[in-house]
Structures are given as structure tokens and as C-alpha cells.
Structure 1
Amino acid sequence: MPTDPLAWETRDRRVAYSCPGFDVVNESVRLPDGTETDFDYLSEPASVCILPFAPDGDVVCIEEWRQAVSRISRGLPVGGTEPDDDDLEAAARRELAEETGYEADRLDPLITVEPANGIADAVLHFFVARGCRPTAEQQLDHNESIRVSTTPFEDLLDAVRAGTIRDGRTVLAVSYYRLFGDE
């Protein structure tokens, strides 16, 4: 039984819909006032987002078609963890290599967030990758179409400020790095 008076009691849980990458979960819950109701949310494995710096200080960026918003989205490499990942750094290294063809000399954790915890159980782990060099071809998933480029960090920051980069993961990574990343 929950101990905090704000906590909801989960009475039952079922997966209402499942597809590659995520589930939609339906829970029967009892609210603190005793009301019984349903709550639906998106459930997915933890993800990693990489802010990759090349040796010259430019950021390795991607442009990717995003069907949900019907446009090309400019941003950073992001991907889900997989059961065979040894740790989060291994997942970040894999996603960087698969999406960009680049490998990093060093990865450092930046921050971990729950980007939409009102509607999803998603956890996103951010890393800063340094010394990124192109070492191989991209190894894209069947549903990915990605173009890779590099850009100065300040230009990326300006695009976030101007609102031309709208991907929330990229906005958060660039903003957090700008505020706290060099400490």
C-alpha cells in the first residue's frame, strides 16, 4: 500500500496495445480520495541521447524524417536501450555509431530525465561524447532515414534559441550542456 497521501494505488495493470518500441499500458487505480478510475500511459525501454563533439569542437548532428510531425527534424543521435546492452554507456556508443558512423574517444554522463512523466514512463539518459570521428558506415534500423552533418556548438545553440530545432531531447541536451556541461 502506498505510504504518501498523494500516491495512487494500482489495482490492475494490462498492456492495451503493443508494437515495436513501446506499449500502451492501462491501469485501474484508486485515487487518494477513494475514486476508482483508469489511467493509460506509454511504456518504453530507457533511451540514450548523445551530444557528440568532433575533435575540432563541432557537434555531430542528424537530420531525420519524423512521421509524427511530417517533417525533417534536426537534432542529436537518440536510441533505446536493448536487453544485451552491458550498460548505458555501451548503448550510447552503439547508437552513436549506428546513427552517425562516428565513434567517441570518451563518453561522460550529462543528466537523466523523465521527459514526459505525466503520460509516459520513459527515462532518457544524456551523454556528452568527445573526440568523435567517422569510423564506419551508418547501420540504420529499417525505419530510419538519417543524414549526418557537423555544426559549431554555438550555431546549434542559436538554432535552439530561434526555435528552428524543436526536438525536445536536443533542446534539453544543448540547454543543459550550455548551463552546466563544462563544470
Structure 2
Amino acid sequence: MDTETPPWTTTESKILVEDRWIRLRADRLRTASGQEIAPWYVLDYPEWCAVVALDEADRLVMVRQWRHGAQSWSLELPGGVMDAEDADPIAAARRELLEETGFGGGAWTYLYAGHANPAIQTNRLHIVLATGIRLVAPAAPEPTELIRVETLPVAEVLAGLPRGLIGQSMHVGAICVGLAAAGRISLEAAA
């Protein structure tokens, strides 16, 4: 199987919704065998970032925020949309962490980017690790964000993962990779 050549051809694309955060389009596709798939909905979002943030006391800095779609409070990593003014994912993560939590400083490392939902979304979630951060300013989230800052011991977060402690499923993997990069856990397979 050729993994470089797209197996589908887009024969038509129509924008259905477009605003500052999202663009929804309906594509008409043709498979290599000539079968038509229509409509195939695609969500064009800007790139996102999230930061696995460990403070000077080795606690994870998290945010609990209201998520209207889920109709619940969700414990998550700080992060959000990468703005055009952000020089790179680390700059975006620094800005988001400071805005949402008031934390800054420390050492910063870019870890990886993964697709949020590659079947229907175009964007990626960039994961950044920050260690040794500290409270440097009051939190100043967007006026539409309802956020509570929580700092939790690494062991408490890890113990809570199997019970659904983290409301944002993409952040579960980010936490594991971030904590491994920080030397707090090992992702090596047992021999």
C-alpha cells in the first residue's frame, strides 16, 4: 500500500460555516476505485497547544474549566489556540500558561504534536513541558473562560487517570509523555 499518495481525490469542497474559531466544510471525495463519498465533513481549526507544567514543588499545574459541550467541569492541562502572533508552540504555551494560571519562569521543552481527530479535523495539539515554574502574576483568563487553577501531586494525577480524573482525553497522553520527559515516570516496556 502506498502511504504517500492520498487514496481519495477531492472533487468538490464547500464551506458551510466560517468564523474566528472554526471552519466547517463538506468535501465530495472519489476513491481510487471510483466510489463517491459525500459529504465528508472536515473541521478546520487553528493549531492548539497544551503545557505539562511542573511547579517548583513538583506539582502539576492544572486548570478546571467549564466545558459547555460536555456540560461539565473538566480538569485539564493549561493551553489553548495558538495565535498568529505566537512565534512557536513554546511561545504559545508560555502565553497560555501565564494567562490561565499566572505561572511562568522555569525551563521549557517542546515535546511533540499530534492530531486532535485526524478523521475530520485538520489541526494538531502541540505538547510542551515546563519544569520549575512558579507563580509570577495573577491569572488573567479570557472573559469567557471559567477557570480554577489547581496544583496536584504527580502521584495523585497518575492515580486518577484510570478513574477519568482528566476530562480532556488528549491530555492524558500528553501528561504521560510529559512526565516521562521530566523523568517522573518511565514509559519503557517491561522485559
Runs of 5+ consecutive residues of structure 2 not aligned to the other structure: 187-191
Shift of 1:92: 0.9
Asked if 1:83 corresponds to 2:84, the answer is yes
Shift of 1:156: 0.9
Shift of 1:165: 2.0
- Letter paired with 2:74: S
Q: Secondary structure at the match of 1:68?
A: coil
| Superposition pairs of residues 40-119 of structure 1, within 5 angstroms | 40-119=41-120
Runs of 5+ consecutive residues of structure 1 not aligned to the other structure: none
Q: Which position in structure 2 is the counterpart of 1:30? A: 30
**Runs of 4 or more off by more than 6 Å in structure 1?**
none
Contact 1:99 1:139 in 2 (8 A): yes
Q: Which position in structure 1 is the counterpart of 2:146? A: 145
When the two structures are superposed, what TM-score results if normalisation uses the length of structure 1? 0.90
Q: Which position in structure 2 is the counterpart of 1:39? A: 40
Q: CA 1:58/1:19 → structure 2, altered by over 3 Å: closer, same or farther?
A: same
Select between 173-182 and 142-151 the one with higher mean Cα deviation: 173-182
Q: CA 1:4/1:70 → structure 2, altered by over 3 Å: closer, same or farther?
A: same
Shift of 1:118: 0.9
Number of equivalent positions:
182
Shift of 1:33: 1.5
Contact 1:160 1:166 in 2 (8 A): no
Per-residue CA deviations over 1:142-172 (Å, capped at 9, x if unaligned) read 3211000211111111111222323113211
Contact 1:112 1:125 in 2 (8 A): yes
Shift of 1:79: 0.6
Per-residue CA deviations over 1:94-137 (Å, capped at 9, x if unaligned) read 11111111113211112211121012112011011112111112
Q: Which position in structure 1 is the counterpart of 2:14? A: 14
Give the share of equivalent positions with the same residue, in percent: 26
Contact 1:59 1:150 in 2 (8 A): yes
Per-residue CA deviations over 1:16-41 (Å, capped at 9, x if unaligned) read 11233111121122112212232112
Q: Secondary structure at the match of 1:131?
A: strand
| Superposition pairs of residues 155-166 of structure 1, within 5 angstroms | 155-166=156-167
